[in-house]
Chains A and B, each alone.
Chain A
Amino acid sequence: MKLKDTAALNALRAKSLALLENRRVSNLITTMNAQGKPRHIMVCGGTGCHASDSPEIAKLLKEELERRGLSDQVEVLQTGCFGFCEKGPILEIHPDNTLYVEVSTTDVADIVEEHFIQGKQLERLLYIEPNTEKRFASDLPFYHNQLRIALRNCSYIAPENILEYIAADGYQAIAKVLFKMTPDSVIAEIKKSGLRGRGGGGFLTGVKWELTRQGEAKQRYIICNADEGDPGAFMDRSILEGDPHSVLEAMLIAGSVIGSTHGFIYIRAEYPLAIHRLEIAISQAREYGLLGKEILGSDFCFDVEIKYGAGAFVCGEETALIHSIEGARGEPSVKPPFPAQKGLWGKPTCVNNVETLANISPIILRGSDWFARIGTEKSKGTKVFALAGKVNNVGLVEVPMGTTLRQIIFDIGGGIKHHRNFKAAQTGGPSGGCIPTRYLDTPIDYESLISIGSMMGSGGLIVMDDSDCMVNIAKFFLEFTVDESCGRCTACRVGTKRLHETLTKITEGKGTLDDLESLEKLSKIIKDTSLCGLGQSAPNPILSTLEYFRDEYLAHIVDRSCPAGVCKSLLKYKITDKCKGCTLCTKHCPANCITGSAKELHVIDEERCLKCGACMEKCHFGAIIRH
């Protein structure tokens, strides 16, 4: 059914509102007969929960409800990411306002029996806050300091049903843009909102649109950059999985403003679920005439095509991405000309990141003033962070710009795993830096992160504790850039390789003090002379760790030791007199380098020791130490 005008869209919205009617309305658990309308079980269908069998849980729930004769009263739906990945798989029951965590396939019968038949909460599946041991059925502390704009519909609607999106004010923004605004007023509104690119660069989105709109051209293109290559960041994927229509709608808006009829979504082939949901969304949008010719009865025509990446980090850079869409090697080219002047097939092209696009419709509907009130002076709105590493609550969090790292890691993230000590937070992926304890209270935005030697990047936030070796972390990131350098410019291709070699030398205990100087010097040269952002920012992990964790580098070089106990070549294993001579370690040593008879103190031959740590893991008496 093609929607011919705004009135038809509004009529469909009015009809679809019933779908969302019972979500988040009541705090009471209702017994099965008290409620006339069907209740909804929202099962998290993000990649993380998907990997822990959430589709199977959904299927079993349906079967069990059928068996108990409840299938017409309770509906099971798959949603996008709830964000609280640590406790997945998650499911939420509406309108009972109940969230169950770490659900497994074996819990299905109990959920149906206790929750739906007896009408009481299943206590054992509620979230328990580890510090207070208090149980939560709703309003979890994890969500307290969050503000979900880009993620507004993730976990709230079923992404595979366009009617739910329409009921949640979907496609109202494009209707407003087409019939109540001019391209200039839209650009002015986006500029005034202060929205900046969420992919890393932080360029003003409104200005980008304006530049692409200028100049003579018969065709212009809009590209959605979903090539999320930053290891440890998964917000773009979650938005596409949980709310694909919000991205399509924003592309429509951008297309109508810059004068484009054709959009591309460039997505990683490694994201099968996101691709699947996008394909569904595109075909549903076409079915309702929200993509295609004469959208909502206007003269605006627009369609979207998916293009697959093939595993190259550098393709996140806009000129490289454009070459990849053209079917070539994804090598960046010199700017200017910028894509806004000369992009895809030589035509003006606007490349926007997924999260940036997800912010567009709310700005159009609620106004730039509302958006500009959130955040800091120069960074407006919210930012989604993929919180991961040594933190209790791994997940996806969306907070206003200007929130401090401490609030994110300790209040939302629930602190460090296993009660260890915080050492550093890494933002910006391979282009960013490591932020030490002393900056935990810095309000984070684009500028403040750069001033402390890191960057926003796409929003990966990896927490490290005292068992992480910062030299090894720097080496890890350089290994990544060596791998991913496209090889076009010498500074990046050869320079990152030399940096990696020097770091390897240091972690093997063969470093000298001169190496530190050469690391710094070479880093600066690479920063100054590389062609694209990948090379220009590749030395950041080294420069930031050298600045904040120089003592660790010195320990590796001067004392030939690794304080965190990570760098194998610098470790020594020793058996202390706690040894009972049980001979267990000799049996597990792959190098056969532990000698000693039963009931006597054993000895490790350091020359032959592989430093695998197997003996230490196996010893029942804690007699083996690492130093």
Chain B
Amino acid sequence: MCNNPLLKDPYQLLDNYIDNLPYKKENLIVILHHAQQLFGYLPDKVQWHIAQKLDIPSAKVYGVVSFYSFFTMKPRGQHVANVCMGTACFVRGSEKLQQEIENQLGIKTGQTTSDNSFSLDSVRCIGACGLAPVMTVDGKVHGRLESTEDINQVLDKYRTEARD
């Protein structure tokens, strides 16, 4: 997310990025990926901005954003935890892992904690099936999370970071 005052206005950065692309409309998905990196999420205002910039209906932008699970229209927490719900993890107990994390964070999958420290989501297979069940936090893979203690340990690591 862009809350560093030293950085330029994210809209400006986005416009620069778009201006440098050889094709515009065809690259809508690439542009959205970039916008999500800049803003952290894709609120109406950003979608509207992109639509105007590319001269396409904002309904088309919304259509694409809402179609792909990678895009989010809600702000994310400081840390994003993703529980793998691929088949290999599922048969090795990822459902239980998901429930346990939901309990510990006090939110459901797809939500963000009230203090904005964690968002919880699920992914379909990250390909670390040898470590099942796994989850990723901010892209780092944590595997063999079989007991409450294992999960606690991982979350604690990020909880401390959040406090620091």
Contacts and interface: CB of A to CB of B under 8 A. Distances in A.
Does A associate with B in a complex? yes
A86 interface: yes
A425 to B, nearest CB: 11
Contact of B29 (A47, A88, A324): A324
Given A229-B124, A329-B63, A476-B87, A388 B129 contact: yes
Interface string B63-103: 11001111100000000000001111011100000000000
Interface string A391-433: 0001100000000000000000000000000000010010000
A270 B123 contact: yes
B5 interface: no
A548 interface: no
Interface string A473-491: 1001100100000100000
B32 interface: yes
Interface residues of A, number: 53
A468 B88 CA distance: 12
Interface centre among B71, B85, B90, B141 (most CB of A within 10 A): B90
Contacts of B140: 51
Nearest to B100: A612
Interface string A71-109: 000000000000001101000000000000000000000
B29 A327 contact: yes
A380 interface: no
A11 interface: no
Interface in B114-164: 123-132, 134, 139-143
Contacts, number: 129
B33 interface: yes
A258 interface: no
A460 interface: yes
B124 A269 contact: no
Interface in A464-506: 464, 468, 473, 476-477, 480, 486
A311 B68 contact: yes
Interface in B1-47: 25-30, 32-33
A226 to B, nearest CB: 12
A40 interface: no
B130 A85 contact: yes
A234 B33 CA distance: 23
Given A426-B87, A486-B67, A52 B33 contact: no
20 contacts: A48-B127, A51-B142, A88-B131, A228-B127, A231-B88, A234-B129, A269-B33, A269-B70, A271-B127, A310-B69, A311-B69, A313-B124, A324-B29, A326-B26, A327-B30, A328-B28, A331-B67, A394-B88, A462-B87, A468-B91
Interface of B: 25-30, 32-33, 60, 63-64, 67-71, 85-88, 90-92, 123-132, 134, 139-143
Interface of A: 47-48, 50-52, 85-86, 88, 228-234, 237-238, 269-272, 307-313, 324-331, 386, 388-390, 394-395, 426, 429, 460, 462, 464, 468, 473, 476-477, 480, 486
Given A270-B126, A310-B71, A327-B27, 18 more contacts: A52-B131, A85-B130, A232-B125, A233-B125, A234-B129, A269-B70, A307-B29, A310-B69, A312-B68, A327-B30, A328-B63, A328-B64, A329-B64, A330-B68, A386-B127, A386-B129, A429-B87, A476-B87
